[in-house]
Amino acid sequence: MNDFSLWDILRNLLMALRWTVVLSLIAFVGGGLVGGLLLYFRLRAGKVLERFIGGYVALFQGTPLLMQLFLAYFGIALFGIDVSAWTAASVALTLYTSAYLTEIWRGCVASIPKGQWEASGSLALTFGEQLRHVVLPQAVKIATAPTVGFLVQVIKGTALASVIGFVELTKAGSMISNATFRPFEVFSCVALLYFVLCFPVSLYAKYHERKTYGRRA
Amino acid sequence: MEFDFGAVLVDWRLLVKGVVWTVGLTAIATLIGMVVGVACAWARSSGPLWLKGIVGAYVELIRNTPFIVQLFFIFFGLPAAGLKLTPETASIIAMVMNLGAYATEIIRAGIEATPKGQIEAAVSLALNKVQVFMRVVLPPALKKVWPAMVSQIIIVMLGSAVCSQISVEDLSYAANLIQSRNFRAFEAFIVATLTYLALSIGLRKLLNWAGPRFFFGR
């Protein structure tokens, strides 16, 4: 019978924490790239594509992330590809993140007055130049707070990857709890570590929100 | 690759039972969670300082940890501290705590947007503190933030899929059970996912209809 001290528990959880961080970064960066691409198509292309992407967003926002993870896990396997929990979790979280980010960013771009598009268009700027010099510099400022805020959702979302066997913080917590029979301490530590990871990000998002909109009464 | 959705749909009884559990859990969590949210929003906007601190800590703690960890803490952690719960009770407590924290922030935003003149007018009509809050401040506050509230309730409903991990027999549990019987994993999860999608669309419609009728008048 092994005796685990609280420090042993915490040390093992800290080792697992890095996979939570890595998975969050993969999902956030990957989701940002895909989301940006979708945003470009939404602004550029006609109504058919716009509706298609709208459906994509509604699909990911209207179904549980857990189901998306299962579908990625069993869906990729249908193509005869041997999927690891890594691949499935990365793919599912990337798509999930891209759907939310493209919707957030679309709202930010839509909040730029239409006259600015028209004015820059009448100055013979191409679509790319309009985006680069006129619209995006303003939209990015508005988008920072909600984007950083969504990062917290992504970090919390990675906890669900534990269900398909990805060993990150939550899965490590379950395993250690099974080995030590001390679920109270273990899950307290797990929650605390998530809090330590997420709370600064939340504060940073709030700070940006105040910077953008001023302190609301 | 061949799909066989028939193999999943013959177990429709399991799916219906799952839907009933998911909807039931969500309904209970929504009702209690809203009460928690209103109470905490009141405490956070006009309660004593120590209460503000406690509520603030509760809100931040819940908002910055994953739901699955909250659920595991309540279901696996609390028995070690002497509090044994059934999976269903643990799920409801976790969902209420979760929705309560988000609802607090949402409703507080609505409360703080109340014009001062309205409160002064109510006080000058000799309404007491409770009357002012329940009849003057709260209804328009709920009305203002109702769209955000509806989205949050749907997020909680979708999040409840995780409750299958502690063997609550909800919709995702049904999907898991079906795929373990017939090995049609992809089809089972597609059916469950589409059912969730239908539920979230239906729930949004229902709440948009019910809000003005029952919670804050038109």
Residue A194: the pLDDT is: 97
* Largest interatomic CA distance in chain B: 73
Contacts of A95 in chain B (CB under 8 A): none
> Residue A57 belongs to what domain range?
6-212
Residue of B nearest to A196 (CA): B64
Of the residues A70, A78, A166, the best mutation for testing chain B's interface (the one with the most B CB atoms within 10 Å of its CB) is A70
- For residue A121, being part of any structural domain is answered with yes
Residue B218: the pLDDT is: 56
Q: How far is Cα B164 from Cα B173, in angstroms, rounded to an integer?
A: 5
More confident residue, B105 or B7: B105
Average of per-residue pLDDT across B196-216: 92
Cα B142 to chain centroid, rounded: 16
Instruction: Indicate whether this model's pTM tops 0.90.
Output: yes
Residue A124 has pLDDT above 50, yes or no: yes
Residue B56: the pLDDT is: 96
Residue B92 has pLDDT above 90, yes or no: yes
* A69-114 pLDDT, tens digit each: 999 999 988 888 888 999 999 999 999 999 999 999 999 999 999 9
Domain borders along chain B are: 6-215
Domain B6-215, CATH among 3.30.70.20, 1.10.1060.10, 3.30.830.10, 1.10.3720.10: 1.10.3720.10
- For residue A1, being part of any structural domain is answered with no
Cβ distance of A199 and B159 shorter than 8 Å:
no
Average of per-residue pLDDT across A117-144: 93
* Percent of chain B's residues with pLDDT above 90: 83
* Percent of chain A's residues with pLDDT above 90: 83
Cβ distance of A63 and B80 shorter than 8 Å:
no
Residue from B162, B30, B105 nearest A202 by CA: B105
* Percent of chain B's residues with pLDDT above 70: 99
Eight-state DSSP code of residue A159: G
Note whether A34 and A164 are within 8 A (CB).
no
Q: Which two tokens stand for residue A211?
A: 């910077």
**Total number of domains in chain A:** 1
Average of per-residue pLDDT across B6-17: 90
| ipTM score for this prediction | 0.91
Residue B2: the pLDDT is: 77
In chain A the first and final C-alpha atoms are separated, in Å, by 58
Residue from B34, B18, B23 nearest B206 by CA: B23
Note whether B90 and B79 are within 8 A (CB).
no
Residue A215 has pLDDT above 70, yes or no: no
Residue from A85, A57, A98 nearest A160 by CA: A85
* A141-181 pLDDT, tens digit each: 999 999 999 999 999 999 999 999 999 999 999 999 999 98
Q: How far is Cα A9 from Cα B71, in angstroms, rounded to an integer?
A: 20
- For residue A217, being part of any structural domain is answered with no
Rounded to the nearest angstrom, the minimum Cα separation between B163 and chain A is 11
* B30-62 pLDDT, tens digit each: 999 999 999 999 999 888 999 999 999 999 999
More confident residue, A95 or B114: A95
Q: Which residues of B22-51 are buried (b: 16+ CB within 10 A; e: fewer)?
A: bbebbeebbebbbebbbbbbbbbbebeeee
Other Cβ atoms closer than 10 A to B217: 11
Cβ distance of A183 and B197 shorter than 8 Å:
no
CA distances from A150 to A91, B159, B176, B201 (A): 18, 16, 29, 22
CA distances from A211 to A7, A105, A113, A142, A145 (A): 40, 18, 20, 10, 9
Cβ distance of B186 and A157 shorter than 8 Å:
no
Map residue B34 onto helix, strand or coil: helix
Residue A2: the pLDDT is: 60
Residue A82: the pLDDT is: 83
Angular region, B28: left φ>0, alpha ψ -120 to 50, beta rest: alpha
Q: How far is Cα A100 from Cα A62, in angstroms, rounded to an integer?
A: 11
Residue A217: the pLDDT is: 40
Rounded to the nearest angstrom, the minimum Cα separation between A122 and chain B is 38
Average of per-residue pLDDT across A8-15: 92
How long, in residues, is chain A? 217
Cα A133 to chain centroid, rounded: 27
Q: How far is Cα A171 from Cα A86, in angstroms, rounded to an integer?
A: 13
More confident residue, B80 or A56: A56
CATH of the domain at A174: 1.10.3720.10
- For residue A129, being part of any structural domain is answered with yes
Residue B173 has pLDDT above 70, yes or no: yes
